[in-house]
Amino acid sequence: MDPGLSAKDVTVFWSPETDPGTVILGAWQAISTVDSIVAPAIDAETSHTDSDGGVSLTLGRGLLSIHVLLLPGIAPGQRVIALLPLGTDGLDRIEAIARLWRMAHSLRLLPDARITVQQRRRLRRMLQAVDGHSEGASYRQIAEAIYGQSRVSETPWKTSALRDATIDLVKDGLALIAGDYRSLLKRRRRL
């Protein structure tokens, strides 16, 4: 991977074990009268062939993209079925399959719901806070960069809620960098 590329210009392929939003497609051979979609065309820029011959690819762009794993031996245009591992991530996988189904039938595609708009905003702030922290900025300087100087100066800094929020952003951002970022791929659910 070219380190000179922007993160926005690089497609990252996660294994289905790590990312339950990846739809696993296998060959459909059973009942010829049952309708099924066909395997998509493979674009070299948005796909990656695994060591076992499976092909990971991204369909769509941005928040409306869907990651798909074609199991080995599937050719573009071949009828496919979605495989659904019934593990603890089953509901995330069902949502991913439903999104692919909507895309295949040209229906309105909803964005991936595993990360909400509010969570994206917080993630952005976490990265800003960690960047400031790594450059030696104080928590107050970080808060001023994120929330604005006037808002930070409205209350005494030592007892400010923004101070606590900034410290949490740095702490949580450092945890993400240390490896907790994979938790972003899984939706927190109340069952």
Mean per-residue pLDDT over the chain, rounded: 86
Q: How far apart are the first and last CA of the chain?
A: 39
Contact predicate 109/150, CB 8 Å: no
- Alpha carbons within 13 angstroms on the beta-carbon side of residue 128 total 16
Contact predicate 69/55, CB 8 Å: yes
Q: Where exactly are the structural domains of the chain?
A: 7-104, 117-185
The sign of the torsion formed by the CA atoms of 66, 72, 75, 81 equals: negative
The contacts of residue 36 (CB under 8 Å, 6+ apart) are: 28, 79, 80, 81
How do residues 143-152 score in pLDDT, each as one tens digit? 999 999 999 9
CA 167, CA 158: separation in Å to the nearest integer? 12
Question: Does residue 1 have a pLDDT over 60?
Answer: no
- DSSP β-bridge partners for residue 24: 69, 83
Q: Provide the pLDDT for residue 152.
A: 95
Question: Does residue 113 have a pLDDT over 60?
Answer: yes
Higher pLDDT, 156 or 186: 156
Query: Which pair of tokens denotes residue 155?
Result: 């209350």
Q: Provide the pLDDT for residue 8.
A: 63
How do residues 30-44 score in pLDDT, each as one tens digit? 666 667 778 888 877
Mean pLDDT of 18-29: 86
Q: Provide the pLDDT for residue 99.
A: 93
Question: Does residue 185 have a pLDDT over 80?
Answer: no
Question: Does residue 126 have a pLDDT over 70?
Answer: yes
Quick one: pLDDT band at residue 116, thresholds 50, 70, 90?
confident
